[in-house]
Amino acid sequence: MKREIPLAITAIFGIFMVAQLFIPHYLVQDISGRLQDWAVVIVAFAYILGVANIIKINSGVICRRGQDWEYKIVMLIALVIMMLSGILLGKDPDDSLPIFDFMYNSMYVPMQSTMFALLAFFIASAAFRAFRARTTEAILLLVTATIVMIGRVSLGEFIWERLPDITEWIMNYPNNAGKRGIKIGASLGAISIGLKVILGIEKSYLGGD
Amino acid sequence: MKNVGRFRSLILFILMTFFLVLPPLYAQEEEGKNFKYEITRDIMKSLNESAEQGDIPENLVVALAPLQGKVFINEQAFRQELVGALGRQLSAQYQSRLVDMSKIRVDWFDMTKITIFIILIAFCGMVLFFSWKAKTDPNQFIRRIPGLDAISEAIGRCTEMGKPVLYVPGIDDMNNIQTIASMVILENVARVIGEYESDLIVPIRPPFVVPVAEEMVKKGYLDAGRPDAFKPENVRFISDEQFAYAAGVNGIMLREKPAANLLLGSFFAESLVIAETGVLAGAIQVAGTANEHQLPFFVAACDYTLIGEEIYAASAYLSKDPELVGSLKGSDWAKVVLSIIMLLGVVLETFGVHFLTEWFFIR
C-alpha cells in the first residue's frame, strides 16, 4: 500500500490536469485552479525542510569542528538574521526602507550580480577551448561562431555590409532548425515520461518500498 | 505484477468515473456559470466599424484594445475590468452591450484543441502498445548513448581516486519533468556508487526536491546492498536563489574536489558558471538538459553531453527494464510518425496545399 496510494494519487491528479487542458468548463477549471493553489501551499511548507536540512548539516560540521567550520557559523548567523528581520521587521509601518530590504538590496543583490558577472569570463574560457580547430566539426564551429560574433557588432558591418545579413541567416535558419529539432524531441520525451509517471510504468521516483 | 494489474484497473476506474460522473454534474450546473467573457478579434473589428460609422466614440475602442484576448470566467470580474479600462466613458448601456457581445458559452470539450487531443491519444497509444509488447519480447534494442555509458566510467574514476561524485539535479522544482527524470537517474547513479563504495554529494536548490533526492540516494544504496554507506548529510539544500546556489555548488567543487560532476536536469544561466568551475577543478563532467538554450555551454565545457530527449531515455537505458525500454521505443516511433507528417506538411505547403497545416493550426 505504501506504493499503491501515492501511485493512485499521481494517476488521479495527473489525468485530471491533462484533461483540464481540453475541458474549459468552469467546474473543471475551478478544481484545477484549487489544485494549483494546493501545490503552492505544499511547496511553501517544503522551505521548512530546506531550513532544517541546512541547520542539521552545518551544525553537525560546527560541533565536530569539521573543514571550514568557521564559515558555517557565519552562514547560520546570516540565515537567522535574514529570517528574523523578515519575520519581525519586514513590514515597516512608515513605509521607509526596512532592514530586510536593506540587507537584500545592498548585500544579497550585489553578490548575486557578482556571480552572474563571472559568466562573461567563463564564456570566454569555454569558447577558447571549444574553438580549438582540431577536427572538421571544430573548424566549422569556429568559422560559424566568428561570423556570428563579428556580424553582431558594428565592426562586422564596417568590414562588409552583408555580414549582418549572413549572421541573421545563420541564426534564423540552420541554428533555429537545430534548436527546434531538439525542442520537438525533448517535448515528446517529456510527454512520454509524464505518461509513464501517471500510468505507474515509471515508479522509481517514489523511493524505496 | 499483481499490484501493477490492480493499479491499471484503478486507472480505468478513475477514467470511467471521470467521464460518467462529470457529465450529469454538467447537466445540473447553475444557469449562467458556464460562460466566459472575451473581447475577441472579431468583436474588436465590429467595434472599429461602429466607431467609423460614428455609433460609438473612437476613444472607447482604443481604450478597449488592451483587453483583447483576455479571458474572464465570471461576469463581475469582466465588468470590473471594463470599468477600470474605460472609466467615465462607459455608460451602463455600453457596459451591458459589451458584456452581451463578449459572452461566450463554454463547451464541455474545447474543439479548438481537438488536434492536440488526437495526437496526444495516438502518442499515448503507441507508448502503451510498445510497453505492453516489450513484456512478451524483453530483448529490445536500444542504441548506445555515450553520455550514459560515461557515467559508470566517471564513477569508476572517482573510486580509483578516492574522491566523491557530485550530482547536480538542475535548479527547477519537482513540477519540471526534467527534475523527475533527473531523480530517476540519481537512483541509478546512487546504486552504482553504492556498488563501487564511493561517496555521492547532491546539492539542491528547490527545498521540495530535498526529501525526494534523499529517498532516491537511500534507495540506490539499499539496492546496491550498502544501506550503511548512505550519508544523509551529503544531500544538501544550498539555497533557493539561483546564483547563491551556483556559488554553493562551485564551493563544493573547489573545496571537496569531486573527481566526477554529473549535471543532469533543468539548467539556466548558472549552467556555464558551474560547468566551467568543474573544468577548473579537473573533474570529468557528464551533463544533460532538455533546455536547448543551455546545451551549447555544456557541449563546450563538459566531456559528455546528453542532448535533449536523451535525458528522458536515461532511466530506461540504465535500468534496462523491458517495460521502460518498450515505452521508449513507442515514443521513438511516435517521433518517426510526426517527422513524416512534418515532411509531408513541408512538401504540401511548397505546392500550395494547406489542409494539413490548417488541421495542425491551433486557434
Q: Give the model confidence (pLDDT) of B42-59 as tens digits.
A: 888 888 888 888 777 777
* Ordered DSSP codes for A51-99: HHHHHHHHHHHHHTT-TTHHHHHHHHHHHHHHHHHHHHHSS-TT-S--H
pLDDT of residue B257: 94
Distance from C-alpha of A28 to C-alpha of B31, rounded to nearest angstrom:
16
Mean pLDDT score of chain B, rounded to an integer?
86
Residues of chain A under the 70 pLDDT cut:
90-97, 207-209
Asked if the model's pLDDT at residue B236 lies above 90, the reply is: yes
All residues at 6 or more sequence positions from B262 whose CB lies less than 8 Å from its CB, including other chains: B151, B154, B165, B166, B167, B168, B189, B285, B286, B287
pLDDT of residue B1: 46
C-beta separation of B306 from B264 below 8 A: yes
pLDDT in tens, B309-345: 899 998 888 888 888 888 889 889 988 998 999 999 9
* Alpha-carbon gap: A116 to the closest alpha carbon of chain B (Å): 7
Taking CB atoms and an 8 Å cutoff, what residues of chain B touch A26? 29, 33-34, 73, 106
Distance from C-alpha of B316 to C-alpha of B53, rounded to nearest angstrom:
66
Q: Is residue B68 helix, strand or coil? A: strand
pLDDT of residue B220: 93
Q: Does A120 touch chain B (CB under 8 A)?
A: no
Across the range B132-154, mean pLDDT stands at 86
Do B269 and A116 count as a contact with CB atoms less than 8 A apart? yes
pLDDT of residue A182: 93
Residues 168-227 of B with CB under 8 A from A: 173, 175, 177-178, 180-181, 183-184, 187, 206-208, 210-212, 215-216, 218-219, 222
* Alpha-carbon gap: B123 to the closest alpha carbon of chain A (Å): 8
Distance from C-alpha of B130 to C-alpha of A89, rounded to nearest angstrom:
59
| ipTM here | 0.88
Share of chain B above pLDDT 90, in %: 46
C-beta separation of B263 from B286 below 8 A: yes
Closest chain B CA to residue A52: B237
Q: Does A122 touch chain B (CB under 8 A)?
A: yes
Per-domain boundaries in chain B: 2-30, 35-105, 112-139+322-360, 146-319
pLDDT of residue A196: 87
Residue A112 exposed, middle or buried by CB count within 10 Å (0-12, 13-18, 19+): middle
Nearest one of B87, B83, B99, B93 to B56, comparing CA atoms: B93
Across the range B96-115, mean pLDDT stands at 81
Q: Is residue B167 helix, strand or coil? A: strand
Asked if the model's pLDDT at residue B252 lies above 90, the reply is: yes
Asked if the model's pLDDT at residue B201 lies above 90, the reply is: yes
pLDDT of residue B245: 95
Closest chain B CA to residue A4: B7
Per-domain boundaries in chain A: 1-89, 131-209
What's the topology of domain B146-319? Answer: Rossmann fold (3.40.50)
Do A202 and B315 count as a contact with CB atoms less than 8 A apart? yes
Asked if the model's pLDDT at residue B2 lies above 60, the reply is: no
* Alpha-carbon gap: A125 to the closest alpha carbon of chain B (Å): 8
Q: Does A43 touch chain B (CB under 8 A)?
A: yes
Asked if the model's pLDDT at residue B13 lies above 70, the reply is: no
Confidence of residue B255 (pLDDT cuts 50, 70, 90): very high
Distance from C-alpha of A106 to C-alpha of A197, rounded to nearest angstrom:
44
pTM: 0.83
Taking CB atoms and an 8 Å cutoff, what residues of chain B touch A188? 123, 309, 331, 334-335, 338
Q: Which of A47, A189, A204 sits opposite B309 (nearest CB)?
A: A189
